[in-house]
Amino acid sequence: MFVVPKGTPGMEQVRRLDKLGHRASHTAELSFTDCRIPGDHLLGGTDKLERRLERARRGEGRSAALGTFEQTRPMVAAMALGVARASFEYACDYASRREAFGGPIIENQGVAFPLADLAADIDAARLLCWRASWMAANGVPFHLAEGSMSKLKASEVAVRAAEQAIQVCGGWGYVSDLPVEKWYRDAKLYTIFEGTSEIQRMVIGRTLATEAAKGPQHHQLPGDHGGLSRRFGHGSLARARAGEVFMKLAKHAPQSVLELGGRLASPGR
């Protein structure tokens, strides 16, 4: 990917695209004709590109099997979850306050059940998103397309939540006085960019014959279940005491001693 500065000869902005949603964010069609871009405009630089290509050729590196998209997709999932939660919370609030036929509409199963499904589905998508984000942060390889899973589920639940929010708000939901019609338009993009839902399913599908077939989707976490030392056991009294001692020492100990302590307490990889 290259950074092309504005005003580069040969680059032209053809038109601004008129979108269904995300209208505050501009998206434009660009054309490049005999456009010369210096090598040092390569994002990340040529050395980094060479190193990554070399790792890919050897089939190594972080997430080499599935590429860097696995690490960026949880970010899109998080954005989609924001829309999903906003829509869901708005719908619940509206349904609790709007009265029809003698009571709040949320007391009807026809209104409450789809919201109950959404509550569970949004939480499930959020857990997928947290898992994938944790994996990216800790350098755990994405063998089962966990990043794609998070993006697929979060984007699709965002579309459903926004649609349901319109339904719950009735006629007002369709009118731009309420924010839900905007969230509906915005939500749809998440099933398209950074790989469409079909592409996410393709990516996940490709892992099924090899990785997923090996057994249940339990991750072999580094050390003793994640970033916790076996010596101090997660949630144990020993860990709590060690933490207290460490906090006291941290006020006086030099940085080098603290780093050594941190290395001893961290799990083996």
Ligand X SMILES: Cc1cc2nc3c(=O)[nH]c(=O)nc-3n(C[C@H](O)[C@H](O)[C@H](O)COP(=O)(O)OP(=O)(O)OC[C@H]3O[C@@H](n4cnc5c(N)ncnc54)[C@H](O)[C@@H]3O)c2cc1C
Which residue do the tokens 């939660």 mark? 85
State the Cα–Cα distance between residues 201 and 99, nearest whole angstrom: 41
Q: Give me the 200-239 binding string for ligand X, x by CB under 6 A, dash otherwise.
A: --x-------------------------------------
Confirm or reject binding of residue 3 to ligand X (CB under 6 A).
no
AA letter at 162: A
State the Cα–Cα distance between residues 126 and 82, nearest whole angstrom: 10
Cβ atoms 156, 200 nearer than 8 A: no
By C-beta, is 147 or 195 nearer to ligand X?
Answer: 195
Confirm or reject binding of residue 198 to ligand X (CB under 6 A).
yes
Cβ atoms 167, 183 nearer than 8 A: no
Return the structure tokens found at 216: 């249940």
Candidates 52-60, 75-83, 192-200, 209-217 — which segment interacts with ligand X by CB under 6 A?
A: 192-200
Q: Is the dihedral of CA 100, 103, 106, 111 positive or negative?
A: negative
Could you give the count of Cα atoms lying within 13 Å of 241 in the half-sphere of its Cβ? 6
By C-beta, is 198 or 244 nearer to ligand X?
Answer: 198
Q: Give me the 143-172 binding string for ligand X, x by CB under 6 A, dash otherwise.
A: ------------------------------
Options 70, 156, 181, 194, the catalytic residue: 194
Q: Return the C-alpha torsion angle 189, 126, 136, 80, nearest 10.
A: 10
Query: Is 194 a catalytic site residue?
Result: yes
Candidates 52-60, 170-178, 191-199, 205-213 — which segment interacts with ligand X by CB under 6 A?
A: 191-199
Among 103, 193, 244, 248, binds ligand X (CB under 6 A): 193
By C-beta, is 199 or 265 nearer to ligand X?
Answer: 199
Range 20-49, binding ligand X (CB under 6 A): 22, 27
Among 159, 189, 203, 204, binds ligand X (CB under 6 A): 189
State the Cα–Cα distance between residues 144 and 127, nearest whole angstrom: 16
Confirm or reject binding of residue 19 to ligand X (CB under 6 A).
yes
Catalytic machinery residues: 194
